[in-house]
Amino acid sequence: MALKIPVIDLRADSARVAAQMREAAMASGFFYVSHHGVAQPLIDAQMAMTQRFFDLPQADKDRISLRHSRAMRGYEGLGEQTLDAAAKPDLKESFYCGLYSDDQHPYVQKGYQSYGANHWPEQLPEMAAQCEAYIAAMLALVQRLMQLLALSLQLPEDFFKATAGDPMVTLRLLRYPPQPPDASADTFGAGTHTDWGAMTLLAQDAHGGLEVCMPDGTWVAATPMAGTLVVNLGDMIPRWTNDLYHSNPHRVRNLHSGGLPRYSIPFFYSPDYETRVEPIASCIPPGRVARYAACSAGEHLREMYRKTYGLA
């Protein structure tokens, strides 16, 4: 039987949801969530704002390039990121924003990436409030999902609370042009990659294009489903669980939009920059050893940005 991405109904009792999350995490690390508590009008408004942003003149978008931001906030043009080193530069453009930190914030003072000010386009004065409301809703949901993840590992529900003091939160707005009909086999909207942080929550339009590599090596479409968000685990989860839970490769090809752009909105959640990420003792069976050395969450993310953007 072909493997597929499960749908988890968050109305169910915590024990049932945790068990379903465990099964999904030990397979592809991907699942949909339904009845997630984020109002559909808020998601729709965020999708509309995403389209309005990318409709701005190119010069206006270039003016707020993320390359001018120490916090990696702002606009990224077509081909500026290469997620798969063996493929061509990604056929997508995006906008990054996150939780605001002023210049007096201790992490800004230390020069930590992912903390700082956002760079909003002057032409959309309402964009900041919209994105901030969406970030707040996603942050509340991901914090609940991290509690359920702890329960799935037979850990106290608040196990990850200590890692969330000042989390690294990134909201990314994405626009993928149609896949060129004569594109080579190494052309992708987003090349094959795993996500770098702890957990990603994705809203996508109706066109689809996200593909997930399942444990048997087959690629499965993460088809858009009304009323759901796609959730996937990032690379910090295998580090914490000593590879019990997976962060599986995925990619994007805009093949099904009838020549239209595809829009999606991933929300990336990672723990506090200074969080020590290392295998949890209960995830190391007797006679086995830790597969990962300890590292800070922030240093891990900084290295991944360096690799895919060529930034120092």
In the CATH scheme, what is the code of domain 7-309? 2.60.120.330
The sign of the CA dihedral 145, 128, 66, 59 is: positive
Instruction: Place 300 in a pLDDT band, splitting at 50, 70 and 90.
Output: confident
Tens digit of pLDDT for each residue in 123-181? 999 999 999 999 999 999 999 999 999 999 999 999 999 999 999 999 999 999 999 99
Distance in angstroms (rounded) separating the CA atoms of residues 208 and 196: 22
Q: 100: which DSSP letter?
A: B
Contact by Cβ (8 Å): 80, 309: yes
Alpha-carbon dihedral 196, 118, 93, 85, rounded to 10 degrees: -30
Distance in angstroms (rounded) separating the CA atoms of residues 5 and 162: 30
Instruction: Place 2 in a pLDDT band, splitting at 50, 70 and 90.
Output: low
Domain extent listing, the chain: 7-309
Among 255, 252, 251, 250, which residue's Cα sits nearest to residue 179? 255
Distance in angstroms (rounded) separating the CA atoms of residues 76 and 62: 8
- Please give the mean pLDDT across all residues of the chain: 94
Question: Phi-psi category of 72—alpha, beta or left, where left has phi over 0 and alpha has psi -120 to 50?
Answer: left
Among 268, 309, 232, which residue's Cα sits nearest to residue 97? 268
Tens digit of pLDDT for each residue in 211-253? 999 999 999 999 999 999 999 999 999 999 999 999 999 999 9
Tens digit of pLDDT for each residue in 74-91? 999 999 999 998 999 999
pLDDT reported for residue 303: 79
For the ranges 40-44, 67-71, 99-103, 118-122, the lowest mean pLDDT is seen at: 67-71
Strand order in the sheet with 250-252: 190-193, 250-252, 210-213, 219-221
Token look-up 């906008």 returns 95
Instruction: Place 301 in a pLDDT band, splitting at 50, 70 and 90.
Output: confident
